[in-house]
Amino acid sequence: MRRLFLRETRAKVRQGVQVLGLVGTCGAKPRATGVRLRTESGSEEDLLADLIVDASGRNTHADAWLRQIGVPPPATQRVDAKAGYASRFYKAPRAQSGRGRCGGRACGSSGSRRRCRAAR
Ligand SMILES: Cc1cc2nc3c(=O)[nH]c(=O)nc-3n(C[C@H](O)[C@H](O)[C@H](O)COP(=O)(O)OP(=O)(O)OC[C@H]3O[C@@H](n4cnc5c(N)ncnc54)[C@H](O)[C@@H]3O)c2cc1C
């Protein structure tokens, strides 16, 4: 997508810059007119724009930045998808490590053949 975007548009990508906040006009109807950047060299710069899209992810500072220039942040709606993550570490029994799933020699003995097939 990135390659396509850069090929099909006249857009430029600025890498290694950090958005510090918004710049805007004050008054009865304050509005954002750009963003303040910290550039690659560490200096600050205002980048003016007609359209500003916040794509900074879930830790976005957009609400605070809007307030700083006198613009009330938009109402937000949170949807709890009730999704969760779980992870766990397992340690393989010593008999199985490095000898395949059936533990080598035990595989051929008649007593363990059924267990062996089940493990496959
Ligand atoms: C551990 C983990 C596992 C996940 N696994 C999956 C998965 O398997 N499948 C799935 O679909 N989703 C998964 N997700 C969710 C997925 O990563 C996010 O939904 C997705 O990355 C959100 O994309 P985004 O572009 O909105 O934000 P992000 O991917 O967070 O991108 C935001 C970008 O903005 C940049 N940025 C932020 N602030 C600034 C700033 N001030 N100035 C300049 N740049 C800034 C960041 O550096 C970052 O590059 C996972 C998330 C986590 C944390």
Is the beta carbon of 81 within 6 A of some atom in ligand 1?
no
Q: With 0.85 as the threshold, say if the pTM is over it.
A: no
- What mean pLDDT comes out for the span 67-82? 93
- What mean pLDDT comes out for the span 87-109? 66
Is the beta carbon of 18 within 6 A of some atom in ligand 1?
yes
Quick check: 96 pLDDT over 80?
Answer: no
Q: CA-to-CA distance for 120 and 108, rounded, in angstroms?
A: 14
Cα-to-centroid distance, 96 and ligand 1 (Å): 39
Closest protein CA for atom 24 of ligand 1 = 57
CA atoms within 13 A on the CB side of 74: 6
Output phi, psi for 119, to 5 deg: -70, -25
Is the beta carbon of 1 within 6 A of some atom in ligand 1?
no
